[in-house]
Amino acid sequence: MAIKRSIGEKIFDAFNILAMIFLIIVTLYPLLYVIFASVSTPSRLIKHEGILLAPLGFQLGAYKLVFRNPMITKGYLNTLFVVTVGTTVNIIMTSLGAYVLSRKGLYWKNLMMFIIVFTMFFGGGMIPTYLLVRSLKLTDTLWALIVPGAISTYNMIIMRTSFMSIPDSLEESARIDGAKDLTILFKIVIPLSLPVIAVMILFYGVGHWNAWFSALIYLRKRELYPLQLILREVLISSDTTQMLAGLAGMDLEPIAETVKYATIVIATLPILCIYPFLQKYFVKGVMIGALKG
């Protein structure tokens, strides 16, 4: 970098930095707007036009209304169940599959590999899957959100690549010491693959947290709804009647507006808080996936 920069390069660098600052603003501003709006005084927010650079007044009434709503707390609990149990199932099944496919010299390995990889390119589709889940009596249980997606083939292939990168010598010396396949899995492969398993926990966990569509098609009972499905009612169908129940005699429309924004914050905050700490693991996951391609 000892070479002097030409004027053209300096202009480019300046433009590049401006472009990046623009990107930061465009990415962050909508999120800031949501936070500002959620704590603004409802009557002032509804009259306001244009960009918000700071909250209009300050109140936490909208948050109180959201937390008072039993559907939100119920939704949170349902989501927590699906995230913890679902991710556990995912990790067990994915590591089993990855371990089997990472073994060398299995006679049926190519056939198993084909059976599994083929499903990445072709499937029965939405309706036959729905009918299958219904005929297994999984509908209207939270298991419908867990079992049909127990393995993501893509994640399993990533994990297999990582398992295969463990040096053979380790395994061979363990075999000489009399270790069997299960011992090798639990004493060698898994302890050496903790980073990739952590990445998988994050991928699956965030996936469960954000999922809503399978809940929409498999669940009829409202008390089973995960958080995202409640959010959909509040944010998209604009159904805030439940939250505003008992506020008779007040001008509800402005309050409904702040309640929506408060709901977004409450549903997104957990992910955004842990995100900066976990970011490098996520990125690592993408990298492992890229190496395979």
Partner 1 sequence: MAKSAAGKVNGNVVSQNSKINKNNLRHVIVKDFKKNKMIYLLAVPVLAYYIIFHYGPMYGVIIAFKNFTPARGILGSPWVGFRWFQEFFSSYYFGRLLRNTLLINIYSLIFSFPAPIFLALLLNELRNQKFKKVVQTISYLPHFISLVVICGMIVNFTARDGILNDIIAFFGGERTTMLLRPELFRTIYVASGIWQGVGWGSIIYLAALAGIDIELYQAAVIDGANRWHQVWHVTLPGILPTIVILLIMRIGSLMSVGYEKIILLYNSSIYETADVISTFVYRKGLLEANYSYSSAVGLFNSVINFLLLIIANWISRKVNETSLW
Q: Does 128 bind partner 1 (CB under 8 A)?
A: yes
Q: Does 12 bind partner 1 (CB under 8 A)?
A: yes
Q: Which stretch binds partner 1 (CB under 8 A): 56-64, 190-198, 232-240, 244-252?
A: 232-240
Q: Does 282 bind partner 1 (CB under 8 A)?
A: yes
Q: With respect to partner 1, which residue has the nearer C-beta, 51 or 248?
A: 51
Q: Does 121 bind partner 1 (CB under 8 A)?
A: yes
- From 11, 115, 170, 245, residue interacting with partner 1 (rule: CB under 8 A): 115
Q: With respect to partner 1, which residue has the nearer C-beta, 235 or 252?
A: 235
How far apart are alpha carbons 104 and 129 in whole angstroms? 33
Q: Does 195 bind partner 1 (CB under 8 A)?
A: no
* Tokens 């924004």 sit on residue: 261
Touching partner 1, residues 139-178 (CB under 8 A): 147-148, 150-151, 157, 161, 164
DSSP codes joined into one string, 91-127: HHHHHHHHHHHH-SS-TTHHHHHHHHHHHHH----HH
- From 67, 81, 212, 281, residue interacting with partner 1 (rule: CB under 8 A): 212
For residue 218, the minimal CB distance to partner 1 (Å) is 10
Single-letter code of the amino acid located at 77: L
- CB neighbours (10 Å) of residue 145? 26
- From 196, 240, 260, 262, residue interacting with partner 1 (rule: CB under 8 A): 260
Q: Does 130 bind partner 1 (CB under 8 A)?
A: yes
- From 28, 60, 77, 245, residue interacting with partner 1 (rule: CB under 8 A): 28
Q: Does 107 bind partner 1 (CB under 8 A)?
A: yes
How far apart are alpha carbons 183 and 167 in whole angstroms? 16
For residue 38, the minimal CB distance to partner 1 (Å) is 12
How far apart are alpha carbons 183 and 171 in whole angstroms? 10
Q: Does 277 bind partner 1 (CB under 8 A)?
A: no
How far apart are alpha carbons 111 and 4 in whole angstroms? 59
How far apart are alpha carbons 13 and 80 in whole angstroms? 46
How far apart are alpha carbons 216 and 203 in whole angstroms? 21
Q: Is 101 exposed, middle or buried (0-12, 13-18, 19+ CB in 10 A)?
A: buried
- From 41, 59, 210, 242, residue interacting with partner 1 (rule: CB under 8 A): 210
